[in-house]
Amino acid sequence: MPNKQGLITRRDFIRGTIGATLATSMFGVKWAMADEKAVRSSLVTVVRDKNVMDANFAVDFKVYQKMLEQTMIQFTGKNNSKDAWSSIIKPEDTVGLVSTEHLNPTHDELVYAVKIALMDIGVPKKKIKMAQGSHRRARACTALIALPALKAHWLTGIGTVLKNYITYSGSPSYYHEGNSSKLGEIWHLPHVKGKTKLILVDALYPLCDKGPQPDPRYKWAYNGLIAGTDPVAVETVCLKIITEKRKAIRGEPWPLSPPPICVEAADKVYGLGTSRMEEIKIEHYGWEQGLLL
Amino acid sequence: MRCLLKRAFFYLTVIVAFSTHEGAAAKMSTYYLPKSVGAWTRPDSAQKIDSTNIFKYMNGAGELYLSYRFIRLEVYEYTADNEESILVELYYMKTSDDAFGLLSLDWGGEPVTFDHSPVSKASRTIAPPNSALYGKGLLRIWSDNIYARVMAERETPVSREAVLSLGRAIVANRKNPSEPKLLDIFPHTIGSDWKLRGDRIGYFRSYLVLNSLYYLSHQNILNLDLSTEAVAAPYEKITDNEDHKRIQFLFVKYADSAQAQQALDHFHKTYLPEHKKDFGAGSMSASPNFFKIEDGWLGYKLHGPCIALVFECPDKRSARMFIKQIQFNLIKIEDNHAK
């Protein structure tokens, strides 16, 4: 039974009625309660390399670049990295790279590797923009590549994919706390909708506790790069990794609190993709140990 | 007469000494921190942050400190050639309880004892007896009204020693008060087999912090604010088959009885909307209330300006036992205060 005030409580979470409760509060919003397709399937790739970081967590750029190439081949099914990039980005695109700047920033090495790959397929350097921070930057781009780092967040539960576009709303603080469930609506804004060609999650050195400030006890060398085009599916895989790591650290269930309601809402209310693990095809390549999937 | 004057002078000196210490604590600055530690050196002055610019300094993380009674933050960056820096953050809070609350959000890490810190926490028996915790380069300290974070960008044996030295300097000659009195409500055991998880006890004033300890709602359904204080902790029972059963206990103290009553009304209407027949100011005040919901039995009891709530009880009997025990403790504490 959805709460008539659209107020989300622990009870909604236990009942699995977050979507219904949110839809009640958003009645009349055009994307509320998006139709669930009969059959959905989303591909998420996870490429890992044990040697991408040394004991001091310094990144080996060449190895990370190879991981990116492997990711693109794996994800697109093309024979080489160049063809893979060409299948999602055109040389005439203005490409916005949306990296994370706070808490657990995206490694610069990933940004550089993507820039090089884009220039390699003919995108001029001046048309590759760092697009984080303002809706004006998103507006100026014809294609976006989301480059968040894997991390939990103390106000939204998880702060990786869906939250990565929070500045495009023009009022980021509105989407913290209770309104974190509405993070999905940002992906429907006219200057964002349909522009995201790829999501590449920098999962080399994730943060599995929510902070709010980084605590090195909760960072670990996962050495991974996670990719997909369905933001909800990629977020769901990220959530699974973080949840499993937290359980491993404490030796008992240690659920994210507050729960990341934005993920289910992005699926059931905003129709951005699937949050059901059974609908996500995970293709893994590389280092097996500590995969957590 | 001379003796009386001497005694008066002595007391005056003590009062001045204490008030000077308070003042010094409030104005504490670089004076307390060494200019250099090992290879690291700090700048002459600190970066000063207050509630107006805390978000600029730490983005959304500022919410945490404003959820307690935050006064200001001083930041020092110790740098060294060929070494990653060490960041010292000193959060000045209004009271020791607020600083304790920040530490209580995570009792993990290696307990650290500083030789200079006076051991006067005899009455601290509910939360873990640690005021400094270290892990992988990060030292967190509760020292009177200061909550400190000292973090080495890269942990090495040398940076660890430097971090601990800075911790020692931060706590030197500072008072070492007891944990918040509100924790006294929590018994170590309830019944014969429910044991407090002291390492999960958290002290707070905000629903944002409550949600990071035990999620209830994304809205402030218990009307928490800086005038309230609250403690949350689970109790566990380990059964014969090693199964961990857990009851979550929450205790909130409001500024007055009227605010507590209002908060309970709000909580009931939003969390238990289908239980309208049980809802009413009179019945709520008169006796504890119990409800079977999705994750077990929920019970609550209003007691003057306080509300005790239990969640996830396996049956009504255990919910009642918890509420009764807390009520008993409350009355005992009130009686002790009255003596």
**Residue B18 predicted with pLDDT over 70:** no
Same domain, B104 and B46: yes
pLDDT score for A4: 52
Listing DSSP states for B282-295 in one string gives HHHHHS-EEEEETT
Smallest Cα distance from A213 to chain B, Å:
6
Query: Do the chains contact at B295 and A177, CB–CB below 8 Å?
Result: no
Q: Does A213 touch chain B (CB under 8 A)?
A: yes
The three-class DSSP label of residue A80 is coil
Ranking A159-163, A252-256, B48-52, B225-229 by mean pLDDT, the lowest is A252-256
- Domain assignment present for residue B22? The answer is no
Cβ partners under 8 Å of residue A245, min gap 6: A206, A208, A220, A222, A292
* pLDDT < 50 stretches in chain A: 1-2, 36, 38
CB contact under 8 A, A8 and B219: yes
Residue B240 lies in a domain: yes
Mean pLDDT in residue range B55-70: 89
* B18, part of any domain: no
Of A102, A173, A217, the CB nearest to B108: A217
The verdict on B109 touching A (C-beta cutoff 8 Å) is: yes
pLDDT bucket at B295, cuts 50 / 70 / 90: very high
> Does A171 contact B at CB distance below 8 Å?
no
For B273-291, what is the mean pLDDT?
A: 68
What is the rounded end-to-end Cα distance, in angstroms, of chain B? 34
Contact between chains at B294 and A176 (C-beta distance less than 8 A):
no
Q: Are residues B67 and B197 in the same domain?
A: no
> Tokens representing A48?
């890992």
Q: Is-contact B249 B197, C-beta < 8 A?
A: no
Indicate yes or no: CB of A211 within 8 angstroms of CB of B212: no
Name the one residue in this structure whose structure tokens are 């005040």.
B285
The pLDDT value recorded for residue B121 is: 52
A58 touches chain B (CB under 8 A): no
pLDDT of residue B277: 56
**Is residue A234 less than 8 Å (CB to CB) from chain B?**
no
Specify the range with the lowest mean pLDDT, choosing from A115-119, B65-69, B116-120: B116-120
Q: Provide the pLDDT for residue B285.
A: 54
Partner residue opposite A14 with nearest CB, options B106, B270, B294: B294
pLDDT for position A22:
66
Query: Based on the domain organization, do B146 and B107 belong to the same domain?
Result: yes
pLDDT band at B220 (very low <50, low <70, confident <90, very high): very high
Same domain, B122 and B245: no
Residue closest to B283 by CA, chosen among B300, B297, B266, B296: B300
Query: Is A289 part of the contact surface with chain B (CB cutoff 8 Å)?
Result: no
B222 plus B107 within the same structural domain:
no
Q: Does A188 touch chain B (CB under 8 A)?
A: no
On whether residue B132 sits in a domain, the answer given is yes
My answer on whether B234 and B113 are in the same domain is: no
- Report yes or no: A54 at the B interface, CB cutoff 8 Å: no
**For B214, which of A3, A177, A257 is closest by C-beta distance?**
A257
- Look up the CATH number of the domain holding residue B327: 3.40.1000
Query: CA-CA distance, B191 to B196, in Å (whole number)?
Result: 11
pLDDT for residue B160 = 97
Instruction: Give the long-range contacts of residues A5-10, CB within 8 A, separation 24 or more.
Output: A5/B270, A7/B217, A7/B218, A7/B219, A7/B221, A7/B270, A8/A178, A8/A181, A8/A261, A8/B217, A8/B218, A8/B219, A9/B216, A9/B217, A9/B221, A9/B270, A9/B271, A10/B215, A10/B216, A10/B217, A10/B295
Q: Are residues B217 and B73 in the same domain?
A: no
A-chain residues near B213 (CB < 8 A) = 257
* CB-closest option in B106, B136, B295 to A216: B136
Q: Tell me the whole-structure pTM to 2 decimals.
A: 0.88
Inter-residue long-range contacts of B53-58, CB under 8 Å, 24+ positions, other chains counted = B58/A212, B58/A213
Residue B129 in any domain: the answer is yes
Query: Would you say residue B315 has pLDDT above 70?
Result: yes
Q: Does B39 touch chain A (CB under 8 A)?
A: no
- Per-residue pLDDT, A173: 78
Q: Are residues B71 and B98 in the same domain?
A: yes
| Residue of B229, B226, B228, B248 whose CA lies nearest to B237 | B248
Residue of chain B whose Cα is closest to the Cα of A7: B219
Name the residue with higher pLDDT: B151 or A39: B151
Instruction: Please report the pLDDT score of residue A142 as a whole number.
Output: 97
User: Residue B276's pLDDT is what?
Assistant: 75
Residue B22, pLDDT > 70, answer no
* B245 contacts chain A (CB < 8 A): no
Q: In terms of domains, do B42 and B143 share one? A: yes
Task: Scan for tokens 């009355």, then name that residue.
Answer: B331
- Asked if residue B14 belongs to a domain, the reply is no
Reported confidence tier of residue B9, pLDDT bands at 50, 70, 90: very low
Predicted local distance difference test score (pLDDT) of residue B23:
42
Total number of domains constituting chain B: 2
Looking at the structure, do residues B162 and B279 belong to the same domain, yes or no?
no
Q: What is the pLDDT of residue A181?
A: 84
What are the beta bridge partners of residue B235? Answer: B196, B247
Please indicate, yes or no, whether residues B228 and B79 belong to a single structural domain of this protein.
no
Q: Which of B149, B171, B193 is the last residue of a domain?
A: B171
Predicted confidence (pLDDT) at residue B17 exceeds the cutoff of 70 = no
A 24-43: CB under 8 A from B: none
Average pLDDT of chain B is 86
Of B63, B215, B294, the CB nearest to A257: B215
Task: Say yes or no: B147 and B284 in one domain.
Answer: no
Q: What is the pLDDT of residue A39?
A: 56
Distance to chain A for B171, nearest Cα, Å: 21
Q: Do the beta carbons of residue B151 and residue B139 sit within 8 Å? A: yes
* Residue B234 forms part of a structural domain: yes
Q: Would you say residue B10 lies in a domain?
A: no
Q: Which long-range contacts (CB under 8 A, 24 or more apart) does A165-169 make?
A: A165/A98, A165/A138, A165/A192, A167/A132, A167/A133, A167/A134, A167/A135, A168/A134, A168/A135, A168/A138, A168/A192, A169/A135
Q: Is A9 on the interface with B (CB under 8 A)?
A: yes
**In which domain, by residue range, is B52 found?**
27-171
User: Among B124, B143, B171, where does a domain finish?
Assistant: B171
B153-183: pLDDT as tens digits: 999 999 999 999 999 999 998 888 899 999 9
Specify the pLDDT at position B275. 87
Q: Out of B171, B201, B217, pick the residue that ends a domain.
A: B171
